[in-house]
Amino acid sequence: MDNKWEELYDAAKQVLKPRDVSKIIEAGGVAAAVESISGKIYVGVCVDTACTLGVCAERNAIFNIITNGEDAIKRVIAIDGDGKAIPPCGACREFMTQLMPEEYRKIEIMMDYENERIVTLGDLTPEWWI
């Protein structure tokens, strides 16, 4: 496996810290690491709220990319509380697709870290609406 995937996994694992932020907000139960086209790694965690205004870890990491002046991603890994890679939800897939509408099919997604199963966002989102 490419060493960059190990870096991404380790970066996500470092921020995976489930905790209560308040009595009605939980955070850190899922963590993500995203590699930008420049090769930098950005991380994010899920933030779950009582009124569903939270955000997934993948989008949180991508917001971090955008905050830091970048706008293109190469690879994404999200891990659950057990450290297992999990696929992005529909909202995250849609966000990545809208971020890179001409290039989204090339974004690599880690589906199963232990078995090194990687797919592209194009595999997960074969016929986008635009």
In a domain, 87, yes or no: yes
Read off the pLDDT of residues 23-73 as tens digits, 9 standing for 90 and up. Answer: 999 999 999 999 999 999 999 999 999 998 999 999 999 999 999 999 999
Provide the domain count of the chain.
1
In a domain, 60, yes or no: yes
The candidate with the shortest Cα–Cα distance to 62, out of 22, 35, 25, is: 35
| CATH number of the domain within which 102 lies | 3.40.140.10
> What's the predicted TM-score (pTM) here?
0.95
Structure tokens at 76: 């994404």
Contact status, residue 18 vs residue 47, Cβ threshold 8 Å = no
d(CA 69, CA 115): 33
Q: By percentage, how much of the chain surpasses pLDDT 90?
A: 93
Full residue range of the structural domain in which residue 8 is found: 3-16+24-124
Predicted pLDDT at 96? 97
In a domain, 129, yes or no: no
The candidate with the shortest Cα–Cα distance to 110, out of 100, 102, 101, 120, is: 120
Mean residue pLDDT of the chain comes to 96
DSSP 55: B
Contact status, residue 114 vs residue 90, Cβ threshold 8 Å = no
Tell me the residue length of the chain. 130
In a domain, 130, yes or no: no
Contact status, residue 76 vs residue 95, Cβ threshold 8 Å = no
d(CA 89, CA 75): 15
Average pLDDT of the segment spanning 83-93: 96
